[in-house]
A and B are shown apart, each in its own frame.
Chain A
Amino acid sequence: MARSKKDIDFELNLLPVISLLAVCISFLLLTTAWVHIGSMDVSQALGDDKSEEKENPPSVWITFEDSNQISLVLKDAKDSPKTLRSVTLVGTTEGPDWDGVENYAKTLKEQMPDVKTALILPGETTPYSDLIRAMDELKKQDMKNIGITPL
Chain B
Amino acid sequence: MVRQSVIERQLNQSPLKAQSPLNPEGGRRRRNLVSTLILTSLVDVFSILVIYLLMNTSASTEQLELQKDIQLPQAEQSHLLEPGLAVRVDKGHYFIKDEKVQLENLNERLAQVHEQLKEDDSERAKKMIIQADKTIPFHLLNPLVLAASQNGFEKISFAVLEAEVSQ
Contacts and interface: CB of A to CB of B under 8 A. Distances in A.
Interface of A: 3, 7, 9, 11, 14-15, 17-18, 21-22, 24-25, 28-29, 31-47, 122-129, 131-133, 135-136, 139-140, 148, 150-151
B75 A38 contact: yes
B47 interface: yes
Contact of B78 (A18, A38, A122): A38
Interface in B28-50: 39-40, 42-43, 46-47, 49-50
B58 interface: yes
A37 B156 contact: no
Contacts of A139: 77
Contacts of A32: 53, 56-57
A132 B163 CA distance: 12
A131 B138 contact: yes
Contacts of B100: none
Interface of A is mostly: mixed
B129 interface: yes
Nearest to A43: B155
Contacts of A135: 75, 77, 158
Contacts of B160: 37-40, 132
Contact of B136 (A41, A46, A128): A128
Interface of B: 3, 5-6, 39-40, 42-43, 46-47, 49-50, 53-54, 56-58, 60, 63-64, 66, 72-82, 129, 132-139, 141-142, 145-146, 148-149, 152-162
Contact of B145 (A38, A43, A125, A150): A150
A39 B3 contact: no
Given A35-B66, A128-B141, 18 more contacts: A3-B3, A9-B3, A18-B42, A21-B47, A21-B49, A22-B46, A38-B160, A40-B77, A40-B157, A44-B155, A124-B139, A125-B139, A129-B134, A135-B77, A136-B75, A148-B156, A150-B146, A151-B138
Given A11-B6, A40-B158, A151-B138, A128 B133 contact: yes
Nearest to B49: A25
Contact of B76 (A44, A124, A140): A140
B50 A17 contact: no
Nearest to A45: B149
A150 B56 CA distance: 37
B46 A41 contact: no
A148 to B, nearest CB: 6
Nearest to B127: A41
B111 to A, nearest CB: 14
A37 B43 contact: no
